[in-house]
Structure 1
Amino acid sequence: MAGQDFPLFQHRPFLLFWLGRVFTSMANNMLAVAIGWQMYDLTNSAMDLGLVGLVQFAPALLFTLVVGHVADRYERRLILSLCLTLQVLLVGVLLLSTHEHWINRELILICSFLIGTAKAFQLPTQQALAPLTVPTQHLPRALALASSGTQFAIIVGPALGGLLYALGASVVYALCALLSLVSAGCFWLMRLEQQQTLRREPVSLQSLFAGVQFIWHRKAVLGAISLDLFAVLLGGATALLPIFARDVLMVGPLGLGMLRGAPAAGALLTSIWLTRHPFERNVGKIMFGAVAIFGVGTIIFALSHSFVLSLAALFVTGIADMISVVIRQSLVQLETPDDMRGRVSAVNSIFIGASNQLGEFESGVTAAWWGAVWSVLVGGIGTLVVVAVWMRSFPELTRRQRLGQPPQP
């Protein structure tokens, strides 16, 4: 069946992939809330909260090259099942230690590092698995639909985790373990649309760095990934939302929750729309336009003193970001041979993680120098500058007409 009439949810490999991804994202978001609250309850230290994030991100940086090689060398659905099973065991340790009252700061940090290690293998493998779940021509729609499930989990997961935490951290951990176990089962039961191409050549420096070399020599892929890196690095305002909620808009904790949810709501609605209306022409210009709109929305948010206008600006940034994400992910996956997807996805994951982590650090530093408003304003302007520079530096990406096809000369 052609075009948008292809029944994605009736296609068993994709349905299991979608369910596994949603349950995994739900568990991860709930787990982040529970670990953060419990650490702060135990230590009352903002530094320890920062350490939790750092030890979870560190494995992705440490194991990037190994992760990609493993994802291309072994069956991806098996890797995902094993990673999620390990996460179930680690969450079980947190559950047991909480229930028996011997949980402490050091145990939380150790478990966070090991959970981060499992996620370091899980996330790139999950990205590389997606193209094998549907016929190639339906991948952009499939990625949009998968993103809609992830956005739903991002909205619901933290809220549900916070609600259940009132009953105790052990309740949240129990549900996280159950969701991770169900996810592992979904990936294990998949029968893929396309056979994975397994790499069996000896491990060498050349094979480990093959993903980096591939991206460097594919200018369209390099341009798309680096555009996202610098746009999010400069334009992200998430880390400073508490300052805007309290000191600029004066809307309190409830308003902060609405501000945090606005981009995800925009992204969710957009991803649903894209499942029925995938982009078929001028995808390069559309992606650059979306990132430019993201920058404009960031500037409006920085200058706004109206809560409604601020919500609208963040909602628009979520829409623009989702358009950019779907095009970029589709382009990267369709441009990459299957036997390279693990290594390329591992490098891509580092770019995404670095943009989010370093973006929060950059926002904090510039806010300390200039104030929150100027920090976000300069970041939004910087995003527009990046768009202009990248359009000139990567003309083959600007000229790209369709996903999965070479650009027209």
Structure 2
Amino acid sequence: MRAISQTAPHPFTISNYRFLWFSRLSAMFALYAMMLILGWQAYNLAREDMGVGASAGILGLLGLLQFVPLFILTPLVGWVADHMDRRWIARIVLAVQAAIALTLGLLTVTGQISLWAIYLISVLLGICRAFLGPAISSLAPNLVPKESLPRAIALSNIAWQVGVIAGPGMAGPLYKIAPALPYFVCAALYILAVAAMLMIGPVKRSAIDRTKGPLRQVLDGMSYVWTNKLVLGAITLDLLVMFLAGATAMIPVFARDILDAGEIGLSLLAASPAVGAVIVAVIFSFAPLSRNVGNKMLIAMAIFGLATIGFGLSTSLPLSMACLAICGAADMFGIYVRGSLIQLHTPDDRRGRVGAVSQVTVSASNELGDALSGGLAVLFGPIAAIVAGGAGAIVITGLWSRLFPQLGAAKTFDPPDDLDDNISGNLKRNKTPIA
């Protein structure tokens, strides 16, 4: 197998990729600002009538409401991403999210925001994320050379994590000025994301086998994940680690009732994981990882579990922020390795369907993990829920290293040679940007 070139064109030299990157940055900024305030409003509304544990359960319910539509729609959205113009899928979904943010702002201004309204919005956001994820993730490999893809993934993750930092970082202070203001700012950011997506020109795509019916094509995508043990191991490792050790849903609980940090502390805690993640992503954007990638991913997942335990036990805001930053750095390490392996080991004509399977597992780990944390918090308290989840993540990482030896055996990102003929539309040999 050939080593991935370190002299490949930088993704930012390709105009289509630059527009995609800016659209992702703006959309992630808006999404995480909106989700933080949504959770904050829900928790405070619940605390009017409930105790800490029951109110924490409400935050878990929000995650579950986002996951259910995504899970149901996964077979459809993967097929759509492989058969329709991925740019237009993203444009439509981002426009809908702008409308959702505007609606939340109006409900807040008029005093009509309620738990039931937040539940409905959570379902709509789950539908939007179901369609957007596979379209965006499978679009990037069509815009850059294969040799540049690991660096492009690192840059995309920078856009994501800067949004995770900047979104919550501005949401708390804006909420203190006026509760509806963060939502109106998010609506404007989504409009900017749509505008950037409209600037992306025609994109080359590999041919789709249209001799098979839609159901068979959906099953082919799932079958590919099941039979490729490297892809399956990477996806399921993330599923279980993040399912058990996700701490983000409990941030409002820790900010209000454990650390007594208020809205500013809420923003600082919510942004902390992204600070660590951005540091790692920036490093990889300049110096892409190239050796012993599988074992390094496994070590990162174990560190994630340890840092989660530290967060659960902390009673200091600075220490809690540091633990969450380590969580973010470890998670980004795993995201970078996993994303590069999956994208480079999957033919282009199946990327949408494989991306949909990957997305539903990521969402299961996040949203269902939020629901699990909320449920455990109701039964045992938020601290015990977080500590137990971190310990479980460490156990799963050790077990997966034995069940899927392909993970540790992945020394580089190199795909099998027979994939090269199947991966088209990624400028593998053409150094000229697609216009």
Q: Per the alignment, in what secondary structure is the counterpart of residue 336 of structure 1?
A: coil
Q: Which residue of 2 aligns with 1:311?
A: 321
Aligned partner (choices 28, 32, 35) of residue 32 of structure 1: 35
| 1:216 equivalenced with 2:240 (yes/no) | no
User: Conserved in 2, the CA contact under 8 Å of 1:4 and 1:277?
Assistant: no
Query: Percent identical across equivalent pairs?
Result: 37
User: Conserved in 2, the CA contact under 8 Å of 1:299 and 1:376?
Assistant: yes
Q: Select between 12-21 and 38-47 the one with higher mean Cα deviation.
A: 38-47
Distance in 2 between residues matched to 1:385 and 1:217, nearest whole Å: 25
Q: Which residue of 2 aligns with 1:258?
A: 268
Distance in 2 between residues matched to 1:253 and 1:98, nearest whole Å: 17
Aligned partner (choices 1, 6, 13) of residue 3 of structure 1: 6
Aligned partner (choices 383, 398, 409) of residue 388 of structure 1: 398
Aligned partner (choices 171, 175, 195) of residue 185 of structure 1: 195
Distance in 1 between residues matched to 2:314 and 2:128, nearest whole Å: 41
Q: Residues 129-163 of structure 1: CA distance to partner in whole angstroms, max 9, x if unpaired?
A: 12112111111111111111111111111232333
User: Conserved in 2, the CA contact under 8 Å of 1:74 and 1:198?
Assistant: no
User: Conserved in 2, the CA contact under 8 Å of 1:17 and 1:133?
Assistant: no
Q: Residues 81-127 of structure 1: CA distance to partner in whole angstroms, max 9, x if unpaired?
A: 12222333444555566667777666655454334322211112111
Distance in 1 between residues matched to 2:325 and 2:274, nearest whole Å: 8
| 1:151 equivalenced with 2:161 (yes/no) | yes
Aligned partner (choices 371, 376, 387) of residue 366 of structure 1: 376
Q: Per the alignment, in what secondary structure is the counterpart of residue 143 of structure 1?
A: helix
Q: Which residue of 1 aligns with 2:367?
A: 357
Q: Provide structure 2 residue ranges, at least 5 long, that are not aligned to the other structure.
A: 50-54, 418-435
Aligned partner (choices 329, 336, 341) of residue 331 of structure 1: 341
Higher relative contact order (CA 8 A, sep 6+): 2
User: Conserved in 1, the CA contact under 8 Å of 2:16 and 2:201?
Assistant: yes
User: Conserved in 1, the CA contact under 8 Å of 2:169 and 2:271?
Assistant: no
Equivalent positions of 1:205-284 (< 5 A) are: 205-242=215-252, 244=254, 254-284=264-294
Distance 1:239-1:101 versus aligned 2 partners, 3 A rule: closer
Q: Which residue of 2 aligns with 1:141?
A: 151
- The Cα of 1:318 is off from its aligned counterpart by 1.5
Q: Residues 348-403 of structure 1: CA distance to partner in whole angstroms, max 9, x if unpaired?
A: 11111111122223223334444444433332222222122111111122111111
User: Conserved in 1, the CA contact under 8 Å of 2:172 and 2:263?
Assistant: no
- The Cα of 1:309 is off from its aligned counterpart by 4.0
Distance in 1 between residues matched to 2:358 and 2:370, nearest whole Å: 19
Distance in 1 between residues matched to 2:104 and 2:315, nearest whole Å: 43
Q: Residues 265-308 of structure 1: CA distance to partner in whole angstroms, max 9, x if unpaired?
A: 11111111110111111111111111112122233444455554
Q: Select between 9-18 and 216-225 the one with higher mean Cα deviation.
A: 9-18
Q: Per the alignment, in what secondary structure is the counterpart of residue 144 of structure 2?
A: coil
Q: Residues 177-201 of structure 1: CA distance to partner in whole angstroms, max 9, x if unpaired?
A: 3322221222232136643544534
Q: Which residue of 2 aligns with 1:16?
A: 19
Equivalent positions of 1:292-307 (< 5 A) are: 292-304=302-314, 307=317
Distance in 2 between residues matched to 1:55 and 1:271, nearest whole Å: 30
Q: Per the alignment, in what secondary structure is the counterpart of residue 209 of structure 1?
A: helix
Distance 1:298-1:11 versus aligned 2 partners, 3 A rule: same
Distance in 2 between residues matched to 1:224 and 1:307, nearest whole Å: 33
Q: Residues 32-65 of structure 1: CA distance to partner in whole angstroms, max 9, x if unpaired?
A: 3454566678885757766654443332122110
Distance 1:48-1:324 versus aligned 2 partners, 3 A rule: closer
Aligned partner (choices 62, 66, 85) of residue 76 of structure 2: 66
Distance 1:255-1:31 versus aligned 2 partners, 3 A rule: closer
Amino acid in structure 1 at the alignment position of 2:397: V
Q: How large is the Cα RMSD of the aligned pairs?
A: 3.1
Amino acid in structure 2 at the alignment position of 1:30: A
Distance 1:239-1:38 versus aligned 2 partners, 3 A rule: closer
Amino acid in structure 2 at the alignment position of 1:162: G
- The Cα of 1:248 is off from its aligned counterpart by 6.0
Q: Which residue of 2 aligns with 1:87?
A: 97
Q: Which residue of 2 aligns with 1:119?
A: 129
User: Conserved in 1, the CA contact under 8 Å of 2:23 and 2:196?
Assistant: yes
Q: Per the alignment, in what secondary structure is the counterpart of residue 63 of structure 1?
A: helix
Residues paired across the two proteins, number: 407
Aligned partner (choices 40, 47, 56) of residue 66 of structure 2: 56
User: Conserved in 1, the CA contact under 8 Å of 2:134 and 2:355?
Assistant: yes
User: Conserved in 2, the CA contact under 8 Å of 1:135 and 1:193?
Assistant: no
Q: Per the alignment, in what secondary structure is the counterpart of residue 359 of structure 2?
A: helix
